[in-house]
């Protein structure tokens, strides 16, 4: 079991956090809404656990069973009392500045999300209503900056990658920073840290002040992937679908690095959106890249997309192996095209309103055994809908690998079953098997990977 030194402390927000009403404080207290308190406790523990090498939410929660957060309302705002908190979050009794910022970002986002839902200001029954909800969540977090030039590059990839792959992500980040581009990731370790780390050096070289290192996460992920300390803007979205929509609405281009099932999920999500007929003319630079050692992975993912979604999907991205400068140049040129396109159509630079996202990509998918077994993985549907269902399949595998609830379901009921056309299931099985062979799946306790899924064709 993971064990660490613990500490008791009292912290107040540095900078500004909207004062909370008595009702909001009550919501967060254990004696108030238990579910809201539990959510904040889980996110707070993950943030305080930054730097942990564990990627198992259940393990982290079990390591600190006596961790508590008490919220005190004061005339000048709020104060958090932390009991049995991870001592690594403190230096000489003072909480590390980035950790304190992220802790209160979590409080801000969880309170606002709950408030919006309770006041019924969210139209969850329409696609436009869900997009509007994502917009308001980001605006409340002060993430949207009207008038700022397009330069936000989203980087997706694995949280547990090889040293060579991690170094490569830093090189790409360095090249992005030299071109004055900002970085947005899922805020955790691995690919979510490397590009930010590389960009910090090149931003310093270029004397760029106020560079942005934006991290977007959600409660089910943050417990398994604690934020890395380079993140200077943290936003916690309510679920994976809101998080993914936030990425593609904010980002002006996306780079896909090596990863595992979670990376494949993100890739399929974006391809499914870009393949919607309404997005045919919309520019969105998308690069698949990695070091020389990752070329087999890149080719396998490329082949899987060709075998399941076809050449049209492959045409929506470029494959640039082992060339960080070429990746950054392509991204910079692509973002210029995005800027021109939005200017001509009077679309905002800070939020991609013109991008059509079908409802099938917006509603949360609960990966129960029944839901996974009933996914439509056949060719009797439009290609962008097949992409949506393949994305859900990978989402379930991610849940079964690293999310506490998913792990529990697998322990209780055994592996998920995935069924579909042979021409889809065989490439899917090959890709997943390759992930296992390349150690791209989570390895519980360092032991051999035990699949949380079974492919049936």
pLDDT at 275: 93
Give the mean model confidence (pLDDT) for residues 20-45.
71
Cβ neighbours of 309 (radius 10 Å): 21
CA distance 82 to 27: 17
174-212 residue pLDDT tens: 999 999 999 999 988 889 999 999 999 999 999 999 999
pLDDT at 76: 60
Give the mean model confidence (pLDDT) for residues 99-105.
88
- Indicate whether 327 pLDDT > 70: yes
328-375 residue pLDDT tens: 999 999 999 999 999 999 999 999 999 999 888 898 888 899 999 999
CA distance 174 to 157: 17
Packing angle of the helix pair 261-274, 383-402 (nearest 10 deg):
160
At 40, the pLDDT band (50, 70, 90 cuts) reads confident
Which of 156, 151, 11 has its CA nearest to residue 77?
11
At 27, the pLDDT band (50, 70, 90 cuts) reads low
Q: Please answer whether residues 256 and 288 qualify as being in contact, where contact means their C-beta atoms are separated by less than 8 angstroms.
A: yes
At 439, the pLDDT band (50, 70, 90 cuts) reads confident
Q: Please answer whether residues 436 and 394 qualify as being in contact, where contact means their C-beta atoms are separated by less than 8 angstroms.
A: no
Q: Please answer whether residues 316 and 274 qualify as being in contact, where contact means their C-beta atoms are separated by less than 8 angstroms.
A: yes
- Indicate whether 81 pLDDT > 50: yes
Which of 442, 449, 408 has its CA nearest to residue 62?
408
How many CA atoms are closer than 13 Å to the CA of 192, on its beta-carbon side? 25
Q: Please answer whether residues 248 and 270 qualify as being in contact, where contact means their C-beta atoms are separated by less than 8 angstroms.
A: yes
User: What is the DSSP secondary structure assignment for residue 73, as one 8-state letter?
Assistant: E
| Joined tokens for residue 379 | 């060719």
CA quadruple 194, 63, 403, 96: dihedral sign: negative
Which of 415, 414, 416, 422 has its CA nearest to residue 377?
422
With pLDDT > 90 as the criterion, what percentage of the chain qualifies?
51
- Indicate whether 33 pLDDT > 80: no
* Domains of the chain from N-terminus onward: 6-119 (3.30.1850.10), 132-359 (3.40.50.450), 365-456 (no CATH)
At 36, the pLDDT band (50, 70, 90 cuts) reads confident
- Indicate whether 444 pLDDT > 50: no
DSSP assignments along 377-422, one per residue: BSSSS-HHHHHHHHHHHHHHHHHHHH-HHHHHHHHHH-SEEEEB-H
pTM: 0.87
248-280 residue pLDDT tens: 999 999 999 999 888 999 999 999 999 999 999
At 43, the pLDDT band (50, 70, 90 cuts) reads confident
Which of 241, 273, 208 has its CA nearest to residue 133?
241
Which neighbouring-strand residues pair with 6?
Answer: 86
Q: Which helix (DSSP H) or strand (DSSP E) does residue 85 occupy?
A: strand 77-86
Collapsing DSSP to helix, strand or coil, 128 comes out as: helix
- Indicate whether 299 pLDDT > 80: yes
- Residue 403, C-beta contacts closer than 8 angstroms, at least 6 positions apart: 57, 220, 221, 224
């Amino acid at each position: 079991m993971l064990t660490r030194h613990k500490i008791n402390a009292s912290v107040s927000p540095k900078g500004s956090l909207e004062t909370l009403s008595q009702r909001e404080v009550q919501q967060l207290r254990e004696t108030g809404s238990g579910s809201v308190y539990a959510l904040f406790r889980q996110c707070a523990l993950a943030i305080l656990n930054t730097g942990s090498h564990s990627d198992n939410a259940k393990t982290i929660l079990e390591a600190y069973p006596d961790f508590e957060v008490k919220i005190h309302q004061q005339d000048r705002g709020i104060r958090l009392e932390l009991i049995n908190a991870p001592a690594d979050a403190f230096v000489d009794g003072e909480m590390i500045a980035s950790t304190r910022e992220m802790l209160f970002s979590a409080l801000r986002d969880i309170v606002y999300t709950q408030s919006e839902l309770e006041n019924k200001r969210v139209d969850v029954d329409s696609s436009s209503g869900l997009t509007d909800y994502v917009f308001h969540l980001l605006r409340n977090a002060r993430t949207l900056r009207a008038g700022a030039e397009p330069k936000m590059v989203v980087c997706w990839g694995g949280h547990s990658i090889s040293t060579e792959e991690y170094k490569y992500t830093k090189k790409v980040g360095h090249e992005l920073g030299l071109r004055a581009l900002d970085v947005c990731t899922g805020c955790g370790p691995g690919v979510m840290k490397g590009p930010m780390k590389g960009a910090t050096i090149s931003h310093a070289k270029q004397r760029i002040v106020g560079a942005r290192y934006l991290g977007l996460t959600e409660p089910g992920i943050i417990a398994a992937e604690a934020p890395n300390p380079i993140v200077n803007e943290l936003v916690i979205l309510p679920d994976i679908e809101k998080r993914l929509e936030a990425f593609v609405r904010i980002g002006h281009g996306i780079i896909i690095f090596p990863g595992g099932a979670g990376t494949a999920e993100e890739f399929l999500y974006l391809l499914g959106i870009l393949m919607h007929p309404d997005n045919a003319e919309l520019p969105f630079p998308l690069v698949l890249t990695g070091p020389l050692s990752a070329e087999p992975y890149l080719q396998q993912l490329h082949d899987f997309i060709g075998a399941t979604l076809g050449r049209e999907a492959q045409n929506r991205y470029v494959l640039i192996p082992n060339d960080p400068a070429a990746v950054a140049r392509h991204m910079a040129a692509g973002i210029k095209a995005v800027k021109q396109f939005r200017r001509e159509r009077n679309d905002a630079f800070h939020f991609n309103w013109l991008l059509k996202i079908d409802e099938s990509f917006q509603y949360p998918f609960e990966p129960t055994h029944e839901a996974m077994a009933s996914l439509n993985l056949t060719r009797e549907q439009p290609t962008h809908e097949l992409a949506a269902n393949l994305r859900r399949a990978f989402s379930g595998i991610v849940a079964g690998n690293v999310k506490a609830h998913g792990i529990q379901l697998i322990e209780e009921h055994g592996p998920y079953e995935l069924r579909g056309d042979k021409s889809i299931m065989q490439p899917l099985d090959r890709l997943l098997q390759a992930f296992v062979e390349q150690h791209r799946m989570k390895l519980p306790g360092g032991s051999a990977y035990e699949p949380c899924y079974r492919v049936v064709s």
